[in-house]
Amino acid sequence: MSHKSRRQGRHLSRSKRKKLRKGFSAPVQPAAAAPQQYEPAPRAEVAAPPARAPAPHPAATPVQITNVAAELRMIGILSGIIVAILIALVYILP
């Protein structure tokens, strides 16, 4: 891998910015253009939707946690089996 920084290239260097600024020219507007007259647009009639009462939130039922110890024991047994299989595969497969 090269020793370049990952952030390189996100920002232009000062010399590149100066070059870009030199080549930039602001658009020139014709001086003889007549001023535009402002005409307000007619207002559109928009019917607002009828106001509704907020829907009641259903009451949250308390979650009862049961058999936590049994589930943790099952997770431990399964993870032990998976680790044992992985260790066996390290020795079996070349």
Q: Where are the domains of the chain?
A: 67-94
Distance CA 58, CA 63 (A): 15
Find all residues with CB under 8 Å of 12, minimum gap 6, and list them. 20
Distance CA 86, CA 27 (A): 69
The pLDDT score that the predictor gives to residue 31 is: 58
| More confident call, 32 vs 60 | 60
Q: For residues 12 and 20, is the Cβ–Cβ distance under 8 A?
A: yes
Q: Whole-structure pTM over 0.85, yes or no? A: no
